[in-house]
Amino acid sequence: MEAFVYNSNPARVMFGSGSSKQLPDELKRINKSKPLLLSTPQQISQAEDVGKILNGQFAGLFSDATMHTPTDVTERACAYANSTGADSVVSIGGGSTIGLGKAISTRTGLYHITLPTTYAGSEVTPILGETAEGRKETRSDTSILPGTVIYDVDLTLTLPVSLTATSGVNAIAHAVEALYAQNGNPIINLLAQEGVRALAASLAQLIKDPHSKEARTSAQYGAWLCGTCLGNVGMSLHHKLCHTLGGSFNLPHAETHTIVLPHALAYNAPKIPDALKKLADVLPDSNGDAVHGLNVLLGKLNVKRGLKELGMKEEDIDKAADIAVSKPYWNPRKVERDAVRELIRRAWAGEDAKADL
């Protein structure tokens, strides 16, 4: 076995049906009593339900969390937190709300408790992507990591089928890139494989039976593991492309990850044979071919396969390619503009991924 370095991010995780009811006790444990609740406009009712668990004992509710964490929204949220005298933040939602909670916490020092309602996985990472003036920048710092994560499967039972699928594939993407990360290690590889196995199986089941509590619990478990991978090793082409596409063209986060993932894997395929085997071993119907396995899984999930379906224009393909190669970053295969452009074109068109770039 080759030498490696393994870092584990400190995090307190509470997992299980009904665990959100432990929020008042968790606040007492950290000696906080005036949390600011965060949500998107679409999830106000879930945030209000959390407020009921707290018997109305919270500083306020900020419900303008927005995709890609725009800095102007964060500034308004920080000002509101200050005006209410909040001593902590509680985010209820997916990546948009969790991202806002991270942005507030790292700027103010307020303790962050998060209750994920999707499978984004960002709740267990010290990574924050923020958008300003049409560009999304990502940074990593221990102050960004939420202090407590409460995984209550009951909060995911009403997650729409379409978002269930794309949110889950978004989580799978974290594990896929972890399998060939420059600073990967055997521990993360185990977490990545188990996370993909749990999510791939449960997502296929949830398309048929979206109310299956057992399948949703398994998906939440898989998302936790995949998110942990994202938080412990570096990402490469796939995540860089998705940040480019999302931040610059305002494309939805999870759907973009879902479309790009098999194409980014196919691009890197010639340089990552070991990772491809590990992934193929845990993807149903892969027949030993990880790229094929992802294509099959996405077909089962009935998700959108083309960026044009998300509103991206064909004339934006060249701009996206230019942005994607404008800053150097590590990737197992050299990042070449023409090949990346073709990758983006295929993703735009909704073609099946092929390892022939």
Query: What's the domain range around 266?
Result: 161-349
Q: Are strands 135-140 and 127-132 parallel, antiparallel or unpaired?
A: antiparallel
Q: Smallest Cα–Cα separation from 346: which of 276, 287, 291, 302?
A: 291
Residue 72 located in a structural domain: yes
| End position of a domain, from candidates 133, 156, 179 | 156
Q: In what order do the strands lie in the sheet with 12-15?
A: 12-15, 148-151, 111-116, 88-93, 35-38, 60-62
- Name, in order, each residue with C-beta under 8 angstroms of 62's C-beta and a sequence gap of 6 or more: 36, 37, 38, 39, 76, 77, 80, 81, 100
Total domain count, the chain: 2
Q: Are the beta carbons of 166 and 258 closer than 8 angstroms?
A: yes
Q: Are residues 307 and 182 in the same domain?
A: yes
Q: Are residues 198 and 138 in the same domain?
A: no
- Name, in order, each residue with C-beta under 8 angstroms of 137's C-beta and a sequence gap of 6 or more: 129, 130, 131, 247
Q: What is the mean pLDDT of residues 142-154?
A: 96
Q: Which of 9-13, 24-28, 52-56, 144-148 has the lowest mean pLDDT?
A: 9-13
CATH code at 333?
1.20.1090.10
Query: How far, in Å, CA of 210 to CA of 201, rounded?
Result: 13
Query: How far, in Å, CA of 211 to CA of 187, rounded?
Result: 32
Note the pLDDT of residue 136.
85
Q: Are residues 55 and 184 in the same domain?
A: no
Residue 6 located in a structural domain: no
Q: Are the beta carbons of 224 and 151 closer than 8 angstroms?
A: yes
Query: How far, in Å, CA of 200 to CA of 216, rounded?
Result: 12
Backbone torsions φ then ψ of 18, nearest 5 degrees: 85, 5
Q: Are residues 250 and 122 in the same domain?
A: no
Half-sphere exposure in the Cβ direction for 282 (13 Å, CA): 22
Q: Are residues 204 and 136 in the same domain?
A: no
| End position of a domain, from candidates 140, 156, 172 | 156
Residue 282 located in a structural domain: yes
Q: Are residues 285 and 304 in the same domain?
A: yes
CA dihedral for 250, 252, 257, 258, sign (positive or negative): negative
Residue 267's pLDDT band, with cuts at 50, 70 and 90, is very high
* 161-178 helix and 290-301 helix, angle to the nearest 10 degrees: 170
Residue 330 located in a structural domain: yes
Name the percent of the chain lying above pLDDT 70: 100
Query: How far, in Å, CA of 241 to CA of 239, rounded?
Result: 5
Residue whose entry in the numeric block shows the structure tokens 């303008």: 64
Q: Are residues 220 and 262 in the same domain?
A: yes
pTM score of the predicted model: 0.93
Q: Smallest Cα–Cα separation from 342: which of 272, 246, 241, 236?
A: 241
How far, CA to CA in Å, does 92 sit from each of 40, 97, 118, 243, 269?
9, 7, 10, 23, 37
pLDDT digits (tens, 9 = 90+) for 298-345: 999 999 999 999 999 999 999 999 999 998 899 999 999 999 999 999
pLDDT digits (tens, 9 = 90+) for 87-114: 999 999 999 999 999 999 999 999 999 9
CA dihedral 44, 242, 5, 283 (to 10 degrees): 90
Residue 355 located in a structural domain: no
Q: Are residues 47 and 81 in the same domain?
A: yes
| End position of a domain, from candidates 156, 187, 217 | 156
Query: How far, in Å, CA of 301 to CA of 291, rounded?
Result: 16
Q: Are the beta carbons of 150 and 203 closer than 8 angstroms?
A: no
Note the pLDDT of residue 134.
82
CATH code at 83?
3.40.50.1970
Task: Flag whether pLDDT at 193 surpasses 90.
Answer: yes
